[in-house]
Structure 1
Amino acid sequence: MPRTDALLRDPRLAAAAGRLGERVVKAAIRQAQDRARSGGIPPERVPDTAVALLPATPGGLRPVINATGVLLHTNLGRAPLSEAARQAVAAAAGPTDVELDLASGVRARRGRSALAALADRVPAAGGVHVVNNGAAALILAATALAAGKEIVISRGEMVEIGDGFRLPDLLVSTGARLREVGTTNRTSAADYAAAIGPDTGFVLKVHPSNFRVTGFTRAAGTGELAALGVPVVVDIGSGLLAPHPGLPEEPDADTALRAGAALVTASGDKLLGGPQCGLLLGREDLVRELARHPLARALRVDKLTLAALEATLTGPPAPTATALTADPAALRHRADRLATALSGDGIDARAVESAATVGGGGAPGVTLDSAAVSLPEPYAAALRTGPVPVVGRLEAGRCLLDLRAVPPEDDTWLADAVRAARPAAGR
């Protein structure tokens, strides 16, 4: 049996120790040695087996190709970062001036350039602040403005989102009391007005996010609520900063603020296309109060998030924006080309029309015309566990690889992944 110290001198494993760390390499060596001891491989195969067992990256997260047709797939990390954002993260990985004025040598506002970029994108906001996710933005607002007071909210907006997360539970945890008004399907401005009193902290308007109520419905607009004389907080959820022509019914921060919202909360890793963070936009005095609240320290973002956010705001269109506006004809052309190439290799691949969705709670009920490569069902599992994992979706007994969220430059990787998965798929 090859000794561990001898194996660590193997040039391939020695190089991997510098890239991945010696502990990771030793773990792979032990696994290979155990296989040899159990008779699974001959001892002379231990070095090659150890090399094969090494992970591709130092961390446990594996890059995947998102071919689900869901642009903002929560299980896949929602918005992929732009190349500009990735470069900004790499540049910020070492010491940075995140909280230092280099000219004067004194402490400066944390993340000031990222905050300035956010303010520039939302001119209607008197103040801006960033925390670590959308829920944190809302919990900071509730704690600072309504602890021990009432939050007036429509019964139709008492929502539950993914993984059993319930908005009412979050709000109550801050010490605020919820004053429910209206009914599930209809709530008017008069319902809110009747509930407002001396104990009101603010009125909360919540985008339903991942469901729609249709038919006999009524919801009070932000402008109607702003006329009631108390602060209105609007949780738009998906992070659209301004109206989008392709999503006319999706709420956005600029419109809500111009309609009179005192504060808007949103997520940065959804339609904005940036890193996970929570955005607070609104009246300068309220945002300053929230930013100076003791809880804000616990919810603050790190330098990597600030760097990625700024690059997303100031750089070229993020992958989410590109996928959202992709030309269906171009997607079909790509699907045809891929299916033809794979069919030439004897794989049962077909180009088909598909319907993609925004995901991440954005634009519920909206479908986006797309195109996909259709494969036999066994490819779904084989692709997920391949060297370059590809996540598609099952539909009508076939594995669909929807191309709307797949950048064109990844088509070669996608085709190679399908070819590599063929033995495991059995066809």
Structure 2
Amino acid sequence: MTGTGTPADARRAVPRTDAVLDSPDLAGARERLGRRLVRDAVGRAQQRVREGALAPDLDAVVAAVLADLPPTASSLRPVVNATGVLLHTNLGRAPLSAAAVRAVADAAGTTDVELDLATGRRARRGRGATAALAAAVPDAGAVHVVNNGAAALVLACTALAGGGLDRDVVMSRGEMVEVGDGFRLHELVASTGARLREVGTTNRTTAADVAAAFEAAEREGRRVGLVLKVHPSNFRVEGFTAAPGTADLARVCRSAPGGRVPLLVDTGSGLLAPRRDLPDEPDAASALRAGADLVTASGDKLLGGPQAGLLLGRADLVEQLRRHPLARALRVDKLTLAALEATLTGPPPPVVAALEADLGHLRERAQRCAAALRTADPDLDVAVVDSEAVVGGGGAPGVVLPSVALSLPEAFAEPLRRTGQPEAVPVLTRVEGGRCLVDLRAVLPHDDALIGALIGALTGALLAARR
């Protein structure tokens, strides 16, 4: 026989999987997360029993399972962006407004995305979102939405110059931008089958260079399908520089030897109209008024909406793009359409609130938070300091936004990010000058209490660790 304390006894002591799974205390978790995730957590708890780290008791195992379960069925966790980067690409860029979040929730079920309820017949997909976008940019003859900014560019280049047409796309060398993760726009253009014709130099390109490219193409028996002007939204070139404006390029494109050539302006950060606080950032309305035939923009940057690629411009060109076979592969889902429409028609999204944040109000928030922390722990090394925020997300390079931050010892940065508690919301900060800065410009006011509570909870543990 096997004696007490043997592996066989340990296995017999482990509560059965079905007994744990069917516990009434786990009913809510099974409904919220699904049986598989709960079963995986049960397996981990059973292993702890086998190792002697958990009592072989059903109630203890159920409690361990509940403590181990994630709050949602998704591995993505909400975080507080206290980095001072308003549009942080690694954090999903623009957070949605409450109106957009509600619209996404409403659209998550069965919805009339392609149905006219009045007639019971099929209707234009996303008509509410495209109508809202057209209303926001009256200078556009028509609009179309695809799944991101790169997709908008790919669709335009494919339909007008690639995809078997083998036409030239004229582009300045100074605008051959590399964006995140090593993607380069000129390589994206070339992938469509269009032939890239580079003009100008890294620091200087003129409208005459573009005109010369038209003449060179004609001599070679080729056609130019598109002139592409890209805003270098994530860097600046200073000094001895020159770049043709949209109006100058439009004049050259209208007088091209083989007939009018479409001019596409990729605005970069997604402004639909000018902003006084970002005077050097191009916008869709101004580009169209200056003569652009097409404008592309991103939905999840300065617009403050979901990830989407916005195409605006001449009605005939937009319709050509909309009817191209590739458009089907790039179309957006109902959740994106709902969020985009709510962003365009609803209250200002969080990114706009962050851009327009009052410095005095930011300081008051920081001081209230610091005072509460000092009251809870007079020994805590916390201060309110001036800070500098940036737009980020490939927008407004070089623009500094005055901000205010809580300054803490550097040791706070990692535990604020990791939290160590599944239910706690991580706070992303930045380390500067040996200090952990909690920049409040991109933090929603209702998250101040969450930040204060997390800092307070960490204080004791960090002090104990130093002892």
Query: What TM bracket, shorter-length normalisation?
Result: over 0.9
Cα distance in 2, alignment partners of residues 171 and 62 from structure 1: 35
Q: Is the 8 A contact 1:382 1:424 kept in 2?
A: no
Aligned pairs (5 A) from 1:361-376: 361-376=394-409
1:77 paired residue number: 92
1:151 paired residue number: 169
Match status 1:329 vs 2:360: yes
1:239 paired residue number: 270
**AA aligned opposite 1:136:** A
Match status 1:163 vs 2:181: yes
Cα distance in 2, alignment partners of residues 424 and 74 from structure 1: 31
**AA aligned opposite 1:141:** A
What SS is found at the alignment partner of 2:86?
strand
Per-residue CA deviation, residues 163-212 of structure 1 (Å, 9 max, x unaligned), is: 11111111000001111111111111111110014410111000101100
Q: Is the 8 A contact 2:25 2:62 kept in 1?
A: no
Cα distance in 2, alignment partners of residues 243 and 12 from structure 1: 55
Per-residue CA deviation, residues 383-427 of structure 1 (Å, 9 max, x unaligned), is: 111121111111111111100011111111111121233355446
Aligned pairs (5 A) from 1:239-278: 239-278=270-309
Aligned pairs (5 A) from 1:53-132: 53-132=68-147
Match status 1:382 vs 2:415: yes
1:292 paired residue number: 323
When structure 1 is superposed on structure 2, of 252-261 and 407-416 the one drifting more is: 407-416
2:200 paired residue number: 182
Match status 1:407 vs 2:440: no
TM-score by length of 2: 0.90
Cα distance in 2, alignment partners of residues 309 and 20 from structure 1: 28
Aligned counterpart in structure 2 of residue 9 of structure 1, from 5, 10, 22: 22
What SS is found at the alignment partner of 1:372?
strand
Cα distance in 1, alignment partners of residues 148 and 348 from structure 2: 22
2:240 paired residue number: 216
1:48 paired residue number: 63
Match status 1:420 vs 2:457: yes
Match status 1:24 vs 2:37: yes
Instruction: After TM superposition, give the deviation of residue 13 of structure 1 in Å.
Output: 1.5
1:351 paired residue number: 384
2:3 paired residue number: none
Instruction: After TM superposition, give the deviation of residue 268 of structure 1 in Å.
Output: 0.2
Per-residue CA deviation, residues 199-251 of structure 1 (Å, 9 max, x unaligned), is: 10111000101100011110100000000122110000111000011100000
**AA aligned opposite 1:265:** T
What SS is found at the alignment partner of 1:124?
coil
Cα distance in 1, alignment partners of residues 55 and 233 from structure 2: 56
What SS is found at the alignment partner of 2:397?
strand
What SS is found at the alignment partner of 1:205?
strand
Aligned counterpart in structure 2 of residue 307 of structure 1, from 317, 335, 338: 338
Which structure 2 segments of 5+ residues have no match? 1-13, 255-260
What SS is found at the alignment partner of 2:247?
helix
Per-residue CA deviation, residues 34-63 of structure 1 (Å, 9 max, x unaligned), is: 122122233333222111100011111000
Match status 1:136 vs 2:154: no
Judging changes above 3 Å, is the alpha-carbon distance between structure 1 residues 191 and 424 closer, same or farther for their aligned structure 2 residues? farther
Cα distance in 2, alignment partners of residues 377 and 244 from structure 1: 36
Judging changes above 3 Å, is the alpha-carbon distance between structure 1 residues 425 and 277 closer, same or farther for their aligned structure 2 residues? farther
Compare CA radii of gyration and give the structure with the larger one: 2
Cα distance in 2, alignment partners of residues 257 and 127 from structure 1: 12
Instruction: After TM superposition, give the deviation of residue 31 of structure 1 in Å.
Output: 1.0
What SS is found at the alignment partner of 1:152?
strand
When structure 1 is superposed on structure 2, of 338-347 and 238-247 the one drifting more is: 338-347
2:9 paired residue number: none
Which structure 1 segments of 5+ residues have no match? none
* Count of aligned positions: 427
Cα distance in 2, alignment partners of residues 4 and 288 from structure 1: 58
When structure 1 is superposed on structure 2, of 377-386 and 298-307 the one drifting more is: 377-386
**AA aligned opposite 2:241:** T
Per-residue CA deviation, residues 300-333 of structure 1 (Å, 9 max, x unaligned), is: 0000000000000000000010011000111111
What SS is found at the alignment partner of 2:295?
strand
What SS is found at the alignment partner of 1:43?
coil
Aligned counterpart in structure 2 of residue 172 of structure 1, from 185, 190, 211: 190
Aligned counterpart in structure 2 of residue 38 of structure 1, from 37, 48, 51: 51
What SS is found at the alignment partner of 2:30?
helix
Q: Which has the higher strand share?
A: 1
Q: Is the 8 A contact 1:382 1:425 kept in 2?
A: no
Judging changes above 3 Å, is the alpha-carbon distance between structure 1 residues 426 and 27 closer, same or farther for their aligned structure 2 residues? farther
Q: Is the 8 A contact 1:137 1:265 kept in 2?
A: yes
Cα distance in 2, alignment partners of residues 395 and 11 from structure 1: 50
Q: Is the 8 A contact 2:418 2:426 kept in 1?
A: yes
**AA aligned opposite 2:74:** G
What SS is found at the alignment partner of 2:124?
coil
